[in-house]
Structure 1
Amino acid sequence: MGLIFFIRENARWLAAGMLLTFISSFGQTYFISIFASEIQAEFDLSHGEWGSLYFFGTMASGFLMIWAGGMADHFRMRTLAIVVILTLMMVCLIMSTVTSWWMLVFVIFGLRFTGQGMTSHIAVVAMARWYVKSRGKALSVAGIGYSTGEAILPMLFVGLLASGSWRNLWVVVAIIAGLSIPIFMWLLKQERIPSLISKRNDALGMNGLHWTRMDVIKDWRFWGLIPVITVTSIFGTALFFQQVHLANIKDLAHQDIVQLFPVYTITTAIAAIISGLAIDRWGAVQLLPLIPIPMAAGFIVMGQTDSKGLMAIGFMLVGLTGGMYGTVQGAFWAEVYGTRFIGAIKALATSLMVIGSAIGPALTGWGIDAGITFPQQMTWYAVYMLIIATWSIFVVTCIWQNLKTNNASA
């Protein structure tokens, strides 16, 4: 099925996925970090202290995801998503009134859990369950919501921040989230697959089985791939979290860095669509080890240059990883472990990725407080990425041999 025909035939459901991934922007690091300077100044926080608060709030949301993410196996997408968006609205309003530094831990927890965690999780699980042969295309199209948020929101809110209060802008965010609810309800007046039909259409994983979350926890291959699965959440998060610091070190205005985000976004969207088509043809398993390589190259470039033009190339390379990651990892779990318990399995993976996104800001913030600038740290992170890409080839080969054997005997 061609991409254009596929989008036309499934527009309503794909648009629901795109809307959810767009709303997830308000809990993503690149958005929260727009307000980093104002928050640090108001509460007198160093880079390390702000990173630590972010670390604890994000870690807590990651642990809660292990339990809450499994609800995607038991509730309709429409019902669960509306509850999550309403909660996100309330957290945004609380952010606009926060009065003490310690309250930031709870607000960050709420933003990361409802935004980065649950809205993204619900969208990915729905696409993975609703589509089998076209899973790659569905995930890549739904992921356009991420790219749209990354392209529009940073420049918009940095501009608004120059002439307005950061607290008032969080009220605006709550209003935007609230306005998405009636749109979402209209898009999903009828879900694509009712729950009973969905269970009959579940796809099998390795060994021809429906893997449960406990089965996955006992599988060494799952843990062997955690480094490559979390690389983007750790270091992509760190890059956007330290955007203000990066601009200062490179002797650029914050606006100069934000103006590079569309380069990242466009590359991410293109990479997501191409990788989606590749998944439908060759599968997600074989693509997984490629994910860290462009980001490693981008970190080397950005770590070594002060040129805005070369920084754009660095963001482009990081965008390649971001686009591949969003599509490939969403399809990977369904291919390897089946779709019957995909909500619980994906929740486990998502929780580890959320925890990874807590580690990145804290690690880099502590390094900055110790006198090691983020650009100086980037080369070492690039070396780590290349090491885990090499290791993941071995793990993926073991998985691929199992899947190939199953397909041959089916």
Structure 2
Amino acid sequence: MINHKKLGNWPFHPKKWPFFYGWMIIISGTIGISMSIPGQTMGVSTFTDSLIEVMSMSRSQLSFAYMCGTILSASMLTWVGKKYDIHGARPVALIATVGLGMVLVYLSQVNHIQSFFGADGNSVMLNFVIMCFGFFALRFSGQGALTLVSRNMMMKWFEKRRGFAMGFSNVVTSLTFASAPVFFEHLIQRFDWNGAWLVLAVITGLGFPLYIIFFFRDDPENSGLKPDGGFVESKKRAKKNLFPVVKDFTLTEAQKTVGFWVFSMMLAMQALYWTGVTFNIVSLFEHSGYDRETAVSIFLPSSMIAIAVTLSVSSLSDHIKLKNLLYVMGGSACLALLGFIYLEPLDRLFQLVIFGYEMRLGLHSIILGNGVMMGLYSVILSVTWPRFFGRSHLGEISGRAITFVVVGSAVGPILFSESLAYFDSYEGAEWICLVLFAGLTIASIWANNPQEKLRVE
């Protein structure tokens, strides 16, 4: 029989590392999430126009294949989480990254696969099946399995300083996600679209597995270590663990709590709203009388605000109730949506030039609301599940929550596109999102940590 404990401490024992190995886990998990970018929406979007051309598909047909593949992949994430709980981070991450490399090779050859089966521009169904399978495998291995394992692995190595530690990871991943499309575009210009995917396949499918074997590890207890590395504050600053875990919940038990559903749905709504907006950002602004340059200009300042919020709130999250973050996140999303709905009237109502910079009420409501919402999203996603439900079934519980997030990211672009098709405006989708965010913000009042009641008992 395989001794998983001994295997987990091979090829070197984390206890012999010159500093607390949890910080190496933060670095490794961050790299793991970054390696999933080819399977993330911003990674796929760089290749969209090339796929439309070579597969002779319309943008709507390709988008529908992407949505179907994404939803299919989401349906399997709870199963992946369960396997993670049983087998640990390293074997699941290895399978996920090798699988990601293989599907990238598959996608680089879809035009040849199309020809092999005799598909052409008139073979709509066959082309759809080819791309739907590719998107399913890509989203499952990249956005799903590899991201889930990398994030959960990091959460297990910290308790008292989980928010503080994850803050570094969240900031770095925000920067890598923001810069990835530029890197992918450079690869496409140099190697063409299929050559770019082959380069990424070598990195994720051959190079990164070696890193996983050497540096990924499971629970710190398996290596004779404790979460936080036995961190002890000075007497002047010493504080007890404000949110001790009394019970490890199963997925079934977690789903019986209000907190699980409110937090999951708020995260899913963020994914739905954000993908819907980003897929249609230029068109959204054009319908309010603004040009492409104005539309694209919101991303950089929103990202800067998001990074600032992540850095400041990550440490704060170790000391406050997480439902307070839900209030702010929901309110920020509502602010951004009101900015979109009333963009032109609000900008006419208030414009101010400060040191040569023009302030507009509608535009800057969008920038501020999106920035705060995105910054809080990464914090809430990182620290909620182990604090609320413990670590024993973390993979399965977070897998179910991420399932809703992935489904939301698939539905968002369709919701906004259909709103434009039926109402010749995006206001229908925007009002739906506003009502749902407002409802979830109110419901956050009852989204308490289930451990609180157990501590009292």
TM range (shorter): 0.7 to 0.9
Residue range with higher mean Cα deviation, 47-56 or 341-350: 47-56
Residue range with higher mean Cα deviation, 168-177 or 110-119: 168-177
Picking from 150, 165, 170, the partner of 1:123 is 150
Q: Quick one: which amino acid aligns to residue 286 of structure 1?
A: N
Tell me, yes or no, if the aligned pair for 1:242 and 1:374 is still in contact at 8 Å. Answer: no
Q: Does 1:88 align with 2:100?
A: yes
Picking from 134, 139, 144, the partner of 1:112 is 139
Q: Does 1:214 align with 2:266?
A: no
Specify whether residues 93 and 338 from structure 1 end up closer, same or farther in structure 2 by C-alpha distance, changes over 3 A only.
Answer: same
Q: Quick one: which amino acid aligns to residue 417 of structure 2?
A: G
Partner secondary structure for residue 165 of structure 1: helix
Q: Does 1:365 align with 2:365?
A: no
C-alpha distance in structure 1 between counterparts of 2:245 and 2:199, whole Å:
50
Picking from 308, 317, 333, the partner of 1:279 is 317
Specify whether residues 112 and 8 from structure 1 end up closer, same or farther in structure 2 by C-alpha distance, changes over 3 A only.
Answer: same
Q: Does 1:138 align with 2:165?
A: yes
Q: Does 1:343 align with 2:355?
A: no
Which residue of 2 is the match for residue 69 of structure 1? Answer: 81
Q: What's the offset of the Cα at 1:16?
A: 0.5
Which residue of 1 is the match for residue 178 of structure 2? Answer: 151
Specify whether residues 353 and 18 from structure 1 end up closer, same or farther in structure 2 by C-alpha distance, changes over 3 A only.
Answer: same
Q: Quick one: which amino acid aligns to residue 193 of structure 1?
A: P
Picking from 178, 182, 187, the partner of 2:210 is 182
Q: What's the offset of the Cα at 1:87?
A: 0.8
Q: What's the offset of the Cα at 1:248?
A: 6.6
Which residue of 1 is the match for residue 44 of structure 2? Answer: 32
Q: Does 1:296 align with 2:346?
A: no
C-alpha distance in structure 1 between counterparts of 2:367 and 2:340, whole Å:
8
C-alpha distance in structure 2 between counterparts of 1:324 and 1:9, whole Å:
27
Write the deviation string for residues 311-368 of structure 1: whole angstroms up to 9, x where unpaired. 5763453232122112213311212212211111111111121122221122223333
Which residue of 2 is the match for residue 3 of structure 1? Answer: none
Specify whether residues 247 and 168 from structure 1 end up closer, same or farther in structure 2 by C-alpha distance, changes over 3 A only.
Answer: farther
C-alpha distance in structure 1 between counterparts of 2:333 and 2:327, whole Å:
12
C-alpha distance in structure 2 between counterparts of 1:309 and 1:56, whole Å:
41
Tell me, yes or no, if the aligned pair for 2:97 and 2:204 is still in contact at 8 Å. Answer: yes
Please show how residues 293-332 of structure 1 align to structure 2 within 5 Å.
293-302=331-340, 304-305=342-343, 314-332=366-384
Which residue of 2 is the match for residue 4 of structure 1? Answer: none
C-alpha distance in structure 2 between counterparts of 1:112 and 1:43, whole Å:
19
Q: CA RMSD in A?
A: 3.5
Partner secondary structure for residue 340 of structure 1: coil
Q: What's the offset of the Cα at 1:391?
A: 2.0
C-alpha distance in structure 2 between counterparts of 1:176 and 1:21, whole Å:
14
Q: Quick one: which amino acid aligns to residue 17 of structure 1?
A: G
Picking from 72, 83, 104, the partner of 1:60 is 72
Write the deviation string for residues 234-270 of structure 1: whole angstroms up to 9, x where unpaired. 11222233356557767655x8766654434333322
Identity of aligned residues (%): 20
Q: What's the offset of the Cα at 1:228?
A: 1.5
Structure 1 unaligned blocks of 5 or more = 1-6
C-alpha distance in structure 1 between counterparts of 2:227 and 2:359, whole Å:
52
Specify whether residues 60 and 195 from structure 1 end up closer, same or farther in structure 2 by C-alpha distance, changes over 3 A only.
Answer: farther
Residue range with higher mean Cα deviation, 231-240 or 366-375: 366-375
Tell me, yes or no, if the aligned pair for 2:108 and 2:195 is still in contact at 8 Å. Answer: yes
Partner secondary structure for residue 208 of structure 1: coil
Q: TM-score, normalised by structure 1?
A: 0.83
C-alpha distance in structure 2 between counterparts of 1:243 and 1:34, whole Å:
15
C-alpha distance in structure 2 between counterparts of 1:101 and 1:248, whole Å:
30
Partner secondary structure for residue 282 of structure 1: coil
Specify whether residues 113 and 181 from structure 1 end up closer, same or farther in structure 2 by C-alpha distance, changes over 3 A only.
Answer: same
Partner secondary structure for residue 76 of structure 2: helix
Which residue of 2 is the match for residue 23 of structure 1? Answer: 35
C-alpha distance in structure 2 between counterparts of 1:349 and 1:113, whole Å:
15
**Structure with bigger RCO (C-alpha 8 Å, 6+ apart):** 1
Specify whether residues 329 and 313 from structure 1 end up closer, same or farther in structure 2 by C-alpha distance, changes over 3 A only.
Answer: same
C-alpha distance in structure 2 between counterparts of 1:43 and 1:346, whole Å:
36
Tell me, yes or no, if the aligned pair for 2:159 and 2:227 is still in contact at 8 Å. Answer: no
C-alpha distance in structure 2 between counterparts of 1:353 and 1:86, whole Å:
24
Q: What's the offset of the Cα at 1:195?
A: 3.7
C-alpha distance in structure 1 between counterparts of 2:208 and 2:437, whole Å:
37
Q: What's the offset of the Cα at 1:279?
A: 1.1
Write the deviation string for residues 85-115 of structure 1: whole angstroms up to 9, x where unpaired. 1111111121112133321111111121122
Residue range with higher mean Cα deviation, 312-321 or 282-291: 312-321
Q: What's the offset of the Cα at 1:77?
A: 2.0
Specify whether residues 8 and 218 from structure 1 end up closer, same or farther in structure 2 by C-alpha distance, changes over 3 A only.
Answer: closer
Q: Quick one: which amino acid aligns to residue 108 of structure 1?
A: F
Q: Does 1:378 align with 2:430?
A: yes
Q: Quick one: which amino acid aligns to residue 29 of structure 1?
A: T
Q: Quick one: which amino acid aligns to residue 297 of structure 1?
A: L
Residue range with higher mean Cα deviation, 75-84 or 175-184: 175-184
Write the deviation string for residues 24-52 of structure 1: whole angstroms up to 9, x where unpaired. 22222122123333433444545543332
Picking from 286, 289, 303, the partner of 1:265 is 303
Which residue of 2 is the match for residue 241 of structure 1? Answer: 279
Specify whether residues 207 and 269 from structure 1 end up closer, same or farther in structure 2 by C-alpha distance, changes over 3 A only.
Answer: closer
Picking from 52, 56, 63, the partner of 1:51 is 63
Q: Quick one: which amino acid aligns to residue 149 of structure 2?
A: I
Which residue of 2 is the match for residue 353 of structure 1? Answer: 405
Tell me, yes or no, if the aligned pair for 1:21 and 1:120 is still in contact at 8 Å. Answer: yes
Which residue of 1 is the match for residue 439 of structure 2? Answer: 387
Q: Quick one: which amino acid aligns to residue 368 of structure 1?
A: L
Report the structure, 1 or 2, having the larger helix content.
Answer: 1
Which of these two proteins has the greater Rg computed from alpha carbons?
2
